[in-house]
Structure 1
Amino acid sequence: MSPLPSRVRIVEVGPRDGLQNEPVTVPTAVKVELIERLLAAGLTAIEVGSFVSARWVPQMADTAAVLARLPPNPAGRYAVLVPNLRGFEAAKEAGAGEVAVFASASEAFSRANINCSIAESLERFRPVAQAARAAGIPLRGYVSCVLGCPYEGTVTPEAVADVARRLAEMGCYEVSLGDTIGAGMPDTARACIAAVAETIPRERIALHFHDTRGLALANLRACLDLGVSVIDAAVAGLGGCPYAKGAPGNVATEAVVAELDRLGIASGIDPGRLAEAGRFITGALGRVPE
């Protein structure tokens, strides 16, 4: 057990992971203004979109246009998700500062979500990793379903650790561990992160917890003394859970910042400006702020 970190880096995933799960497509100008407001709040690591098929994820079809209209990010970089080498080339051409790839710890979820096995998905990412390295573009990795799968139920910490290790060996500077359906409890979250920390350095682990059952903050707290100091979150809790109709999705950035402040952990985020960004996007979506 380590002491709590003195500072946590928050990776804002609302503009991508959040908005892609919203039922409406947000105009490019609204996305750009949201990201500008997040920058003004002090967020420097922002995932702004993805270069996936517009047929499957129409909400992200304008990612290149979003990148073209964004101001420079002097203290950080804009990241995008890419599914394959073709997506990487599009991201590089659009000027993305970072790319991310997405694997699963569940074979059933991998086949249902991207129509291939875990091993096949990792092979698909290998040329992406090579191209990113050659271009000097940082590569981040996601692992989904780390605390449970909607198709096969329990996912073992060992399975998560194996996928995380392979992503790190491929060249991912950081591996984000996602509780995709919000199935985790503090004890299972802690066991999972501890297992992964046996295979890759703790400073290369990020926590990406969903709040489907209202336990995301408790799960995050359970892992903060394991030497992990990176948390993914989405402004206004954007996203919802596609496997639980009406349930929350990503843990809200506002809630994470407030909890870190309560624990005496610095985040560098201005809560007032963050709240303004949350009100802006909920207004654009026609949602009542929580």
Structure 2
Amino acid sequence: MPISPEQAQEIAEARSQTHTTMRATVPGMEAHLYTAHEVLDHGFIRVIDYMGDDSAICQAARVSYGKGTKSVQNDEGLIRYLMRHWHSTPFEMCEIKLHVKLPVFVARQWIRHRTANVNEYSARYSILDREFYIPAPEHINAQSVVNNQGRGKILEGEEAARVLEILKADSTRAYDNYEAMISDDGQDGLARELARMNLPANIYTQWYWKVDLHNLFHFLRLRADSHAQYEIRVYADAICKVVADWVPAAYSAFEDYRLGGAQLSGKAVDCVRRMLKGEEVTQETSGMSKGEWREFMGVIG
């Protein structure tokens, strides 16, 4: 279970408090505040705080246009223009702070996005909970034969059962040894900062993660993509739902131009033009490598 009864009570108490403010608020985000949205078997995301809305993006963008230019285009049109032309600063005016509970190996991927403020649960100071990510059977896959960093077909039968048993047994044994090492019952007990090194990468950690909307969109563009690893993609998908309620116009533009769009190289654009003229273009005549051609064909169908 992602949250304990005590944590659920704390969330309920936090949500019962209201504060008077003159700053912009978003009803959709107010509904999300503090609520734990479950992810994987023990994980969650929670909105702790946020700043700005769609109008804040437009307000920042129009500063550089000068006084009296608000009628140039409506807010949604302006936001789509900014997204279409890869403007960044106006989107940086919005920020969000999330509380995330996630497996350590997912956190190691996540932290590669070095554009946020992060404070992680300290295993030097506190004892980690006995909670591990164990994949569901439908997410136990073989190595992909075409992508060195991806999954292939689903493992089945005895092999899948054996893998799951190994994951469960190794996690349990590692945590048993962790508890035995830090115990001060009849011994001094190993320092927590040393004992944690024996824990597996599927144990859960937690952090507060604060990021501006521009960099959040970059994170989501990579991690909500179908090629991203499943275990981080489900977190990105959960965040997408929150962002859609926070800045609906900006998220709609992001979904259209980034998640649903495609970026073509100069060679790819040339191939499209040749195809439109009726020319038969092949990988050999495209000037692309086999990998580039495969991806290009995936885009144009």
Q: Under TM normalisation by the shorter chain, which class is it?
A: under 0.3
Q: Look at both structures and tell me which one has the larger radius of gyration over its CA atoms.
A: 2
TM-score, with normalisation over the residues of structure 1? 0.24
By percentage of residues, which structure has more helix? 2
TM-score, with normalisation over the residues of structure 2? 0.23
